[in-house]
Amino acid sequence: MTEASFRRIAADIAARIATGQLRPGHRVPSTRQVMREWGVANATAAKALAQLRAEGLVESRPGSATVVAGLPRSTPAATGGALSRDRITTTAIRIADTHGGDELSMRRLADELGVGPMSIYRHVSGKDELVHLMSRHLLSDYPLPDPAPEGWRARLTAECRSQWRMYRDHPWLTRLTSVIRPTVSPEGMARTEWMLDALDGLGLDPAERLREAIALPALVLGMASTRTRELTATRKSGLSTVEWWNAQEAELATYLAGGRFPHLASIDTADPVADLDALFELGLERHLDGLEARLRRLAGRS
């Protein structure tokens, strides 16, 4: 079973709690019952119940089975208005922006909203749907220029820079994004449509146009993921990129002294590595240069 399987099971049980099928104090399905009902292995069933405990929806009592946790501590009206999918989504984004995506949980989200975790499940089925809503919300927050710039290259550049800004502002998003298995949504489809339209009429066949519309977002995501990992490394080590390279100076000098790496020895600064915005622009420019050369070759054959 995949990781999504245990989350789906947890979401199904959470829905029973939210709709009142399972009430506070009621027993939830045991590990064996989960195994039978969903046809999963023991490890997956245990992980699903652990997820429900982590979200504060169920609790284990000594000498008793796992049961539904108590009623919410407060009501939405007491903490800034009624719950809605939009309010839940924007609060989740704020938590991820402040503390990182790994720190986002339904329990933490409920605490931030001042409600019991089961209240959230009345609006979203679980964390998978929440992440889906967060992604859609952010895609809407970074609209493409209207009217579109003239020319295929300007249009593709605008789209890639829009994605780069989104990942810069929300680094945690890189870990939740896939260009091969993307979030299927009107917002994401509109961006792909924009790229395919920019490539229309240039001589590329449909399959090559689609590959191009995948390759460019993959380039952006790859650079953005590198930036996210660098931010994490800086936070954990307390050293900036340049400071880290300076700390390696003595060891590097040992390897460079023998003349085996003359080109590396000629570089005396880590600044080119540290400026990830410049590296992104370089990668984008070189990719589009290659595409332009490809289009010239196609035009020469016609």
pLDDT value for 49: 86
d(CA 3, CA 10): 11
pLDDT value for 133: 94
Tens digit of each residue's pLDDT (9 = 90 or more) over 59-82:
877 656 788 876 544 444 344 458
d(CA 269, CA 91): 41
pLDDT value for 74: 42
Q: What is 3-68's CATH topology?
A: Arc Repressor Mutant, subunit A (1.10.10)
Tens digit of each residue's pLDDT (9 = 90 or more) over 1-28:
444 588 888 888 887 877 777 877 788 8
For domain 76-140, give the CATH superfamily: Homeodomain-like (1.10.10.60)
- Lowest mean pLDDT segment, chosen from 127-131, 156-160, 207-211: 127-131
pLDDT value for 2: 47
Annotated domain spans of the chain: 3-68, 76-140, 151-238+270-301
d(CA 66, CA 189): 42
Tens digit of each residue's pLDDT (9 = 90 or more) over 229-259:
999 898 888 988 888 888 888 898 899 888 8
pLDDT value for 223: 96
Which 8-state DSSP code applies to residue 302?
-
pLDDT at residue 191 tops 90? yes
SS3 263: helix
Secondary structure element (H or E) that encloses residue 116, with its range: none
Q: What number of other Cβ atoms are within 10 A of residue 117's Cβ?
A: 25
